[in-house]
Structure 1
Amino acid sequence: MAPRRVFSPVFALLLALLGAAPMAAAQVLSGNSYPVGGVEVDVTAANAVEARDQAIREARRRAGRMLVERLVPPEDRAKVPTLDDQRLEGMVRGVEFARERPVGNRYIATLTVVFAVEPVKAWLGEAGIRVVETVARAALVVPLWKARGGLEALDDRNAWREAWRGVDSAASAVPLLLLRGDQLDQDAATSEELFVGDVTALSRLNERYRAPTVLVVAVEGDKAGGALSVAGFRYDAQTGARGEIARIAVPSPDRLGEAAKQIHARLEEEWRPLATVRRDTEEALDVSVPIADLADWVRVRQRLGGVPAIRRVNVRTLETHRADLRLEFFGTPDELQRVLAQAGLSLVKEGEGWQLRAR
C-alpha cells in the first residue's frame, strides 16, 4: 500500500482558501469591449470647446488605428477596410478621460477609447479578417545608472531615463510605465536594493504602480561619454519569477535610445506568444492538477492567471493531493497547449482525461 500523505489542518485550510479565491485570468478580458488606453492628444482650435471636440474625434481615429495593430496580424493589415467617422462612431462605446489639461484654446489629454466587440468584428469580417487580439501587459521601467562613485539616486535625470521616455509603447503589447523617482519611490526602495533585485523592495515599490512586470535596467559607465554597458532583469509581480536581460554594449550615451528600444522589442517578442487571443472560438476543458504541496498549487494558479487566452477557471474539487479544474478558454485545445507551455505549464492527455502541472 502506498504511504498515505497527511497534511496539517493549516495546509488544508490554505488550499481551500486559495481554491475559493477568484482567478485573475477570469478578469483579463472583457467579453463585450476592447479598451484602448494611452491615447494622447494635443489640439489647438478657435476656442476651448472646439479644441476638446476635435481632440476626441482625433483620439477615436488614433485609437482605431491602435486597435487594428492589436487585433489584426501584420500579414492581414493591408486588407483592413477604410474606416470613416460615421462607422467609427458606431463602434465606440465611450471615452474615458485619464488626464486632461485645457489651456485656453488648446486641449491636452490622455484618453481611453472603449470599442464594442461585435461592430468591430463585423467591420473586419467584411474583409475576411479573423480577429486575433494581443492583450497588453504593462511593465514598470526602473532605469538605474551606476557610475564610478556608485549608483545614482532614483530621481537622477540622466540620458538613460530620457532614452526610455523616447520609447513609443502606447500601441505595443508591452506598454511602459516609467518610474517617477520621487520621494514616495525613494521611501519605498533604494537604488541599491533595486539593483540587486531585493524582492521585498520591488514589491513595496510596485504597490504604487501595480504593474504586472517590473523591469530593472542599469547602465554602467561614465555619463560624460565613452563606452557603456546595459544589463538588468525583469521581475514578474504575479508569479515572482525573475529573468535576466542580456548585457548590451553601447558605444556612447547618445546611443542609449537604441538600447532601450532593443530591450522593449525583446519583451514584446517574449510576451506575444502568450498574449495572442482568438475570440472567434471558445472551448472548455476539464483538467486535473496533481498537488504535492502548497507551492505546487500556488505555482499552477499563478501561471494560469497570467494566460490571457484563459477566460475563466472553475475549481470543481480541491483535495490535498489534487485539484479538478474546468478551464474556459479562447482558441482550440492544441493552441491552449502551446500557450500554456509558454507560461511554464504542461497540459497532457492521460487516458481519458487531461493533466495540468507546472514544469
Structure 2
Amino acid sequence: MRFRRFFNRTALLVTFFALVGQYSLSPAWSGNHVYTVTNIKIDASAGSATEAKKIALSQGYERAFKALVERLVPQQDHAKVPLLSAKDALNYVLDISLSSERSSSVRYIAKMTVRFKESRTRGYLRNTGVALAELISKPVLVLPIQKSGEQSLLWGESNQWRAAWGSLGETNGLVPLTMPLGDLQDIGTVDAKGALAGKDGLWKLASKYGSNDIFLSIADIANDSNSAELSAVRTGKFGDGRTYRLKVVKTAEESTAGMLERGANSLNGSLQQDWKQANLLQFGIERWILVQVPIEGLQDWVLINNRLQDVPAINRLNTRSINRSQVNLDVYFSGDERQLTLALAQKDLAMLLNENSIWELRLLNKPAASSSLTLPLEEEVPTLSEDFVVDELAVPTQEIDLSNDNESMTTE
C-alpha cells in the first residue's frame, strides 16, 4: 500500500510537470493577438477580377501595417516608422483572412484580417527607435449621452451621439470598445440621469457586457447643429478619472452626423493614446522579482501559466520550486511593478504584496472546473478570502465631474 501511494503521487506529479511544460513561456506566445489587425477595408478596380483582387490585397498589406503602427506606437513617434510597401510588408505577414468578399468582372471588395510575425515585426519597430505598447486593455463600455437644453438622452434612435460612436466599428486600438445593445433590459437598468450620477445601474450594465471600466461621453450639440461641445471620462477599475474635452465645428462638406463621427474618433484616439503612453515597454531595462503563486490544484497552475503567456511585459519565467500548494517563480519583466500589476490584471491575475512583503500572484475569476484532476493534498488549502478580490467596480459616490480642463482639445 505504501508503494502504491508513492507511485500514485509520483504519477500525478509527472503529469503535473508534463502539462506545465506544454504551457511554458516561449519567444512566440501563441495566445498573443497584439500583432493582429482586423477589419481592413479593401476596394480596387482593374481590367479583370483577378487583377482587381491583387491590387486590393496590396492595399490591404500597406493599410494593415499602418494600422499596426497606429495601434502600438505613440502618436508622437508615428513619423519615425517608415511605412512599408505591400512587397516589403509581406515579409512581416504570417497569414491573412478575408471576409465580406464581393466581386464583379472588374472590381473586388472585402474586409481583411492580417496576422503579423510577432518577433520579426517587433524587431523592425524597435530598430526604428520608437517606443512600443503591447498591453491590450479589458473592454471598455462606451455610454454616449446627448444633451439638448436641460434634457439628457442615453437610449433611442434620436441619440445622434450614440450613432456616431456606433459608426466607429472595430478600431484596432489596444483599448477595445463595446457598446450596449440598448434593449429593454439595458433601458430598464440605467438612464442618462442615473449614469451621470454613478448609480448602481451603471455598474450593473458594465457587468452585463463584461467591462470593468466605462467611457462616459457627453455631446452638447448646438441648437443649429453646426457645432458640439464634447466631453468624456474613463471611470472604473482601470480608469483614473481622466477627463477629455473637445469642441467640433461642422465643415462646409460635413453633415452633423459626420461632425459627430469625427469627434467620436478623436476622443477614441485620445483614449488609446493615454493607454499606450501609460504602458510603454522599456526594452533593454529588465527587472526581476520573486513571486509566490498559491494553488489549490493542477488546474490552477495550468490556468495561471496559460494566462501568463499573454502578458507582453514578461520576458521570461524561472520556476524556483513547486509543490502541491505553491509555486515560486522568478519573473523577469520590462517596465515597473505598477505596469506589471496592471498587465496581469487584464488577464484576471492579481499581484499584491503579502504580509511578508513578498509578491503573490492570485487567480481571479476562476472558471468552473473542467476536470476532476487535482494534486494530492496532505491538508486542505484555504480558499481566497473576499479581501483579495480586486476585480470589483468602483462606484462613484458623487456625480461624475466633467468640468476638469486638464485635457482641452479643439478641432475645426
The TM-score normalised by the length of structure 1 is: 0.60
Deviations 1:241-279 (A, max 9, x none): 665464748588857557535533442243124433357
The answer to whether the 8 Å contact 2:231/2:246 transfers is no
Bigger Cα displacement from structure 2, 279-288 vs 110-119? 279-288
Deviations 1:335-356 (A, max 9, x none): 22242476799878999x7436
Report the counterpart of residue 34 of structure 1 in structure 2.
Answer: 35
How do 1:208-287 residues align onto structure 2 when only pairs under 5 Å count?
Answer: 213-219=213-219, 225=225, 230=230, 233-234=233-234, 240=237, 244=241, 246=243, 248=245, 256=260, 260-261=264-265, 263-277=267-281, 285-287=289-291
The answer to whether the 8 Å contact 1:347/1:356 transfers is yes
Structure 1, unmatched stretches of 5+, are: 1-22, 291-303
The answer to whether the 8 Å contact 1:48/1:102 transfers is no
Cα distance in 1 between the residues matched to 2:45 and 2:234? 40
> Which of the numbers 178, 186, 189 marks the counterpart of 1:189?
186
Report the counterpart of residue 60 of structure 1 in structure 2.
Answer: 61
Closer, same or farther in 2 for the Cα pair 1:108/1:227, shift >3 Å? closer
Report the counterpart of residue 171 of structure 2 in structure 1.
Answer: 170
The answer to whether the 8 Å contact 1:273/1:339 transfers is no
Cα distance, 1:114 vs structure 2:
0.6
Cα distance, 1:217 vs structure 2:
2.2
Structure 2, unmatched stretches of 5+, are: 1-22, 251-255, 295-307, 362-387, 391-412
Report the counterpart of residue 298 of structure 1 in structure 2.
Answer: none
Cα distance, 1:190 vs structure 2:
0.9
SS of 2:42's partner is strand
The TM-score normalised by the length of structure 2 is: 0.53
Report the counterpart of residue 116 of structure 2 in structure 1.
Answer: 115
Cα distance, 1:189 vs structure 2:
0.6
> Rg bigger for which structure?
2
Closer, same or farther in 2 for the Cα pair 1:251/1:120, shift >3 Å? closer
Cα distance in 2 between the residues matched to 1:213 and 1:53? 42
SS of 1:134's partner is coil
Closer, same or farther in 2 for the Cα pair 1:193/1:106, shift >3 Å? farther
Cα distance, 1:193 vs structure 2:
0.8
Identical-pair percentage: 22
Cα distance in 1 between the residues matched to 2:324 and 2:277? 30
How do 1:318-333 residues align onto structure 2 when only pairs under 5 Å count?
Answer: 326=329, 328=331, 330-331=333-334
The answer to whether the 8 Å contact 2:287/2:336 transfers is no
Cα distance in 2 between the residues matched to 1:245 and 1:32? 27
Bigger Cα displacement from structure 2, 61-70 vs 280-289? 280-289
Closer, same or farther in 2 for the Cα pair 1:131/1:269, shift >3 Å? closer
The answer to whether the 8 Å contact 1:219/1:229 transfers is yes
Aligned AA (1:100): S
How do 1:197-212 residues align onto structure 2 when only pairs under 5 Å count?
Answer: 198=201, 199-204=203-208, 206=209
Closer, same or farther in 2 for the Cα pair 1:109/1:68, shift >3 Å? same
Closer, same or farther in 2 for the Cα pair 1:136/1:54, shift >3 Å? farther
Deviations 1:110-163 (A, max 9, x none): 3220111343345456x5647734334454433232446855463415442354
SS of 1:202's partner is helix
SS of 1:46's partner is coil
- In terms of fraction of residues, the more strand-rich structure is 1
Q: CA RMSD in A?
A: 5.3
Cα distance in 2 between the residues matched to 1:131 and 1:329? 19
Closer, same or farther in 2 for the Cα pair 1:212/1:350, shift >3 Å? closer
